Chain A
Amino acid sequence: MTLKLAGSDLACVRGGREVFAGVSFSVAAGEALVLTGPNGAGKTTLLRAIASLLRFAAGRLDFQASDPEAVLAEESHYLGHQDALKPSLTVGENLAFWADFLGVAASDSGKGLAAVGLAELARTPAAFLSAGQRRRLSLARLVAAPRPVWLLDEPTTALDARAQEILAALMRDHLKGGGLIVAATHGVLPLERASELRLGGAA
């Protein structure tokens, strides 16, 4: 069975307020879903709920993968607003930890650093990185540990033009390799097979 993620009539309640309701979507292998909408429309909430970090108040979320035992959260990368880095560890140690924790041989973490152009900073403590470099290091995690589902929250934040090109190339490779992406953004993601899901309505 191929990779597929579908939600029907999803709703989420946060702090007694209904953030969104009646949201339906379907993404298959090789496809991207771009979440758009004004601030507070529930883009991050939807991504976190897909990542099982929040609960849906209503609706159904179906996940199909080649392995019928696969659990969505364990097959997903979640790139949130925070970069999940320890400032006292070096760039290389930060990435090697996540590669180990996510279950990949450490040799792959070098590949991840090279893919985002941070190979020369491998021995620098993460505390000295700029916001954009921290973001690149988080992206390296997606390369170092393969996961079929990428949940990206504002992936282009703080990235310069060059890094945005790298990100676009990584996302295209991921889709070509049979993965799927759900991304929230205010900008434009240069992807061919992307459908848009607008949250928050016209209001």
Chain B
Amino acid sequence: MSALSALLVRDVRVALRVGGGALAGVLFFLAVVVLIPFAFGPDLALLQRVGSAILWLGALLASLLGLDRLLADDHADGSLDLLLMGRAPLELVVAMKALAHWLTTGLPLVIAAPVLGLLLNLDLDAMAVVTLTLAIGTPALTFIGLIGAALAAALRRGGLLLPVLVLPLTIPVLIFGVAAANAAVVGPMPVATPLTILCALTLVSAVIGTFAAAATLRHGME
């Protein structure tokens, strides 16, 4: 097995075995989405109109869970020293860790989204589009979060610092994710425009996130 695929397998295995990782995110997502109709009251038309935004907000908050441990755990147990010294480029190492994190926390959110859409009175087409935008957009959230995770490891501060740093950077993803979903549900804008920008945001954050996180780790481990 190559170095990077071994890292991916290890991280996925650790996330699934410790338990909590994937399931806790989905349960948090469920809790947020279930709470909001209670706050709005039983107005089905209103829920349908804001449903995709609620799903996006829930997924955004749920994807923050566990980010602070993405690199801090490896730092605490000394694995990060060995990852830094290895032959595999650090950018690819952190990208692989982000991919493993998305597979175990982001992907379950995407899978749960259609089910939670039922609670918000979304019709089938709207559910499909929201799920598609989440599938494209949640990797961007993970890669943006990777920068925060690297800072949390380098500064040895977890907890609230990370959401405070990461949430403002996720605003463009949220805007265009919800815009693409709304365009399909409410119209009249074509879906393709915001969806293309969302794809671009994901690609850009994959590049910037990995390089920024690798640079943070290289300079912050002193």
Interface string of B1-42 (1 = CB under 8 A from A): 111011101100110011000000000000000000000000
Whether B87 contacts A51 by the Cβ 8 Å rule is no
- Report A-chain residues with C-beta under 8 Å of the C-beta of B81: 48, 51, 53, 78, 80, 82, 84
Choose the segment among A31-39, A86-94, A113-121 that binds chain B (4+ C-beta atoms closer than 8 Å). A86-94
User: A24-46: which have CB < 8 Å to B?
Assistant: none
- Report B-chain residues with C-beta under 8 Å of the C-beta of A85: 77
Minimum CB–CB distance from B214 to chain A (whole Å) comes to 14
Whether B18 contacts A74 by the Cβ 8 Å rule is no
Minimum CB distance partner of A97 in chain B: B10
Interface string of B164-195 (1 = CB under 8 A from A): 00000000000000000000000000000000
CA distance A83 to B6 in the complex (A): 18
User: A53-95: which have CB < 8 Å to B?
Assistant: 53-55, 73-74, 76, 78, 80-86, 88-89, 93
- Report B-chain residues with C-beta under 8 Å of the C-beta of A158: none
Interface size on A, residues (CB 8 A): 29
Is A122 at the interface (CB under 8 A from chain B)?
no
Knowing A101-B3, A101-B6, A102-B3 touch, does A84 contact B82 (C-beta < 8 A)? yes
The one of B18, B78, B88 in contact with A81, judged by C-beta atoms closer than 8 angstroms, is B78
Whether B10 contacts A84 by the Cβ 8 Å rule is no
Is A150 at the interface (CB under 8 A from chain B)?
no
Interface residues of chain B: helix, strand, loop or mixed (majority): helix
Is A20 at the interface (CB under 8 A from chain B)?
no
Kindly state the interface size class of chain B when it binds its partner.
Answer: 20 to 34
Tally of A-B Cβ pairs under 8 angstroms:
75
Knowing A80-B81, A86-B14, A89-B13 touch, does A74 contact B2 (C-beta < 8 A)? no
Whether A100 contacts B14 by the Cβ 8 Å rule is no
CA distance A101 to B10 in the complex (A): 10
Is B160 at the interface (CB under 8 A from chain A)?
no
Whether A83 contacts B14 by the Cβ 8 Å rule is no
Whether A89 contacts B10 by the Cβ 8 Å rule is yes
Whether A74 contacts B1 by the Cβ 8 Å rule is no
CA distance A14 to B221 in the complex (A): 12
Minimum CB distance partner of A141 in chain B: B82
- Report B-chain residues with C-beta under 8 Å of the C-beta of A88: 13-14, 17-18
Whether B85 contacts A74 by the Cβ 8 Å rule is yes
Whether B85 contacts A89 by the Cβ 8 Å rule is no
CA distance A142 to B84 in the complex (A): 17
Is B108 at the interface (CB under 8 A from chain A)?
no
Knowing A51-B85, A52-B85, A74-B87 touch, does A84 contact B79 (C-beta < 8 A)? yes
Is B159 at the interface (CB under 8 A from chain A)?
no
CA distance A100 to B85 in the complex (A): 14
CA distance A141 to B79 in the complex (A): 12
Is B43 at the interface (CB under 8 A from chain A)?
no
CA distance A103 to B14 in the complex (A): 21
Most chain A C-beta atoms within 10 Å of own C-beta, residue among B7, B14, B17, B85? B85
Minimum CB–CB distance from A5 to chain B (whole Å) comes to 15
Whether B86 contacts A89 by the Cβ 8 Å rule is no
CA distance A95 to B156 in the complex (A): 27
Whether B88 contacts A53 by the Cβ 8 Å rule is no
Minimum CB–CB distance from B162 to chain A (whole Å) comes to 22
Knowing A98-B82, A100-B1 touch, does A83 contact B77 (C-beta < 8 A)? yes
- Report A-chain residues with C-beta under 8 Å of the C-beta of B1: 100, 106
CA distance A178 to B77 in the complex (A): 30
Whether A78 contacts B77 by the Cβ 8 Å rule is no
CA distance A122 to B222 in the complex (A): 35
CA distance A115 to B173 in the complex (A): 52
Contact surface of A with B, Cβ cutoff 8 Å: 14, 48, 51-55, 73-74, 76, 78, 80-86, 88-89, 93, 96-98, 100-103, 106
Closest 7 CB pairs of A and B: A82-B78, A100-B6, A84-B78, A88-B17, A73-B85, A84-B79, A100-B1
Can you sample 9 A-B contacts with CB below 8 Å?
A52-B84, A53-B84, A76-B85, A84-B81, A88-B18, A97-B7, A100-B1, A101-B6, A101-B83
